Structure 1
């Protein structure tokens, strides 16, 4: 389980170190930095697939995503924002730690003067994987400085070989040799198992409303196109009674089935009071979105970490207690981070499960954790350049 998440210089997250629990709810008013925190987690996951540079490019490049205020933030109570001479290297830093392993990356701009048309591509200045919850020199397992990677050998000493890597590649994706550093491979595969769900489409042309050829689907796709197959998989792995109970709790007297015709799978929703079942194309946006969350959260293959971004969107308040129960059930098998500003959902979760609530706020344009002082922050150290 991840116990600490650290972000530095990503949008409004100038310097944030957060404690994580088995079920963490991130809340706060609009514009407080919740979405930035969600995207920071996705960037960490992208690094394990060598996609962090491309992900930043989609956001306008590294310069567009860096903290735009003074290097040390705005002094509390100050009415003026004044820049000073920069003392630190410009960079975006992301990291996490748990009881077993920790990982951190430092992305910066390339050295000026290189002849390239890709001079906005960020470079990996540092990367580190260590054992335990806190980075210490003796705990380092793999250490990357610029284009050079070194790893520990079985004796615990640093190996004699220095492995070369391109500055725009992550050592997680390009250097995960089970012989040279098996721990690096373990960390990479754990990060790759992280799963993210954002706003599902429920418009008339949404993929989830279409009948499709189905295969066994233990993991719902990000767009919900394989909804019928995912629900049928849940039924066939022996969780039909659990699925039926969730549907009845949300829509009393209703049942759900998956039908097949010409090898195409489709959802059939039997609603109390109606003489025929409704297809996915006929369901309301809220009902369809709830079924998508059911398929995502009752997954037969739970990930190391499951991150949900505003799951309450388009749901009627009456459905939020049922959604809270569904989230609490999923949290028994996987670590969950839920980004939400629905007080009813948060309250319902707190009543049925142990929840770590992180409330964010903006102060001088900077995202901060409400009530967190310097001495309250989890222990965290960045690898130096």
Structure 2
């Protein structure tokens, strides 16, 4: 479970550190930085997939995502006695992402490239990386270190071994030094991070794939857009779908889901009291379909280490907010959940859960800060 999340230099997240629990709800006004926090988490996951450079390029490149304010605020700026202005930079331009967990911690530092004549000269470079045991890096618990092109791994004996001397600046040690013999800890963490799941694009529009029959194969993990929801529901049912049936009945009393199999093509159907035939997915309202998609995602028979939901309440009727909160709380018993939402009803419902950590973001001088700034977890960034 992730216990600490640290982000520095990404959009409005100049320097934020958050403590996380089993169930977390991130909220705040529009423009407070919720989407930036969500994107930063996705960038962390992209490191393990080997595509963090590409993802940054899609966002407009490193200059487009860097914190646009001064490196630090003076006391006079904070008190409003002095206009916000640039200061003499003490550190290099960088974007840093990291987390600490009950098992491993990891951090990456991305910076501006060395000027060159390459057509890829605008790509950011990975300047430093670090992997350690536990929540915070120290002198004795670091397992792998990357500085520039050099990567060193610590052996079981405590001695350091040179794993790479010329690692390309666009390659991460997470993907290129993960080895079952020499870099087992990197391999374990990489696979865990690759299993993180993000749901922010569950389609419910008229043309959504979930509304139409799809070729059915076992689907223990719902696709990011929900296209294979019929196969996911059938998979849950065959493994033991009691929780899914309860979640559906909680939101729609007396209703039940079934999957029609037509020569290997699966179609989702919903049975409701008073109707002589089941409703096809194409006939369901956007809110009803979205709730079913969220239920299939949250009750996955193969739960990830981390699941992040971005504004799951979209298109849901007010009557579905409480069932959704109960569904999320139930899922958090098997996987760590982060919910990003500005829906007060959902935030309040989740906040009533005993183990829920509520994180309220706000803007101060253009910078995103959390309401529990005084309770920030201790953190050490890797040096370049």
Classify the TM-score, shorter chain. Answer: over 0.9
Correspondence for 2:370: 369
Q: CA deviation at 1:101?
A: 1.1
Is the Cα contact below 8 Å between 1:27 and 1:341 reproduced in 2? yes
Q: CA deviation at 1:33?
A: 0.4
Q: Report the CA distance between 1:163 and its aligned residue.
A: 4.1
Q: CA deviation at 1:161?
A: 5.1
Aligned residues of 2:295 and 2:327 also touching (Cα < 8 A): yes
- Superposed, 1:283-302 pairs within 5 Å as 283-302=284-303
Aligned 1:40-189 pairs, distance under 5 A: 40-73=40-73, 75-78=77-80, 80-112=83-115, 114-160=116-162, 162-189=164-191
Contact 2:151 2:162 in 1 (8 A): no
Runs of 4+ in 1 over 6 A off after TM superposition: none
**Number of residue equivalences:** 381
Report the counterpart of residue 196 of structure 1 in structure 2.
198
1:207-259 CA-to-partner distances (Å, cap 9, x unmatched) read 111101100100000011100000000000012x2222111110112121111
Matches within 5 A, 1:10-21: 10-21=10-21
For structure 1, the 5+ residue unaligned runs are: none
User: How far 1:160 moved relative to its partner?
Assistant: 5.0
Aligned with 2:222 (options 217, 220, 224): 220
Q: Does residue 1:206 correspond to 2:208, yes or no?
A: yes
- Report what 2:383 is aligned to: 384
Change (3 A) 1:101 1:235: same
Q: Deviations over 1:301-332 (max 9, x none)?
A: 00011111111111011001110111011101
Q: Following TM superposition, by how much is the alpha carbon of 1:137 offset from its aligned partner in structure 2, in angstroms?
A: 2.4
The TM-score with structure 2 as length reference comes to: 0.97
Q: Which runs of 5+ in 2 are unaligned?
A: none
- Looking at structure 1, the residues matched to 163 and 205 of structure 2 have their Cα atoms a distance apart, in angstroms, of 55
**TM-score for the superposition, normalised by structure 1:** 0.96
Which residue matches 1:34?
34
CA 1:32–1:160 in structure 2 vs 1: closer, same or farther (change >3 Å)?
closer
Q: Deviations over 1:26-69 (max 9, x none)?
A: 11111000010000000000001111000001100011000001
Q: Is the 8 A contact 1:134 1:380 kept in 2?
A: yes
Summarize deviations over 1:275-296 as a string: whole Å, max 9, x none: 2211111111000101100110
On the 8 A contact 2:149/2:164 being kept in 1, the answer is no
- For the Cα contact (< 8 Å) 2:25–2:350, is it kept in 1? no
Counterparts of 1:320 and 1:73, CA distance in 2: 40
Shift of 1:99: 2.4
Shift of 1:272: 2.4
- Per-residue CA deviations over 1:59-108 (Å, capped at 9, x if unaligned) read 00011000001111473232622112222100100000012211000000
Return the alpha-carbon distance in structure 2 between the equivalents of residues 358 and 202 of structure 1.
Answer: 29
Q: Is the 8 A contact 1:66 1:92 kept in 2?
A: yes
Contact 2:163-2:177 at 8 Å conserved across structures: no
User: Aligned equivalents of 1:35 and 1:360: distance in 2?
Assistant: 11
Matches within 5 A, 1:218-367: 218-239=220-241, 241-367=242-368
Work out the CA distance in 1 between the residues paired with 2:256 and 2:125.
52
RMSD: 1.3
Kept after mapping to 1: 8 A contact 2:213/2:265: yes
Q: Distance in 2 between matches of 1:309 and 1:80?
A: 35
Alpha carbons 1:73, 1:366 under 8 Å: kept: no
Structure 1 distance, partners of 2:363, 2:371, is 9
Conserved? CA contact 1:199–1:311, under 8 Å: no
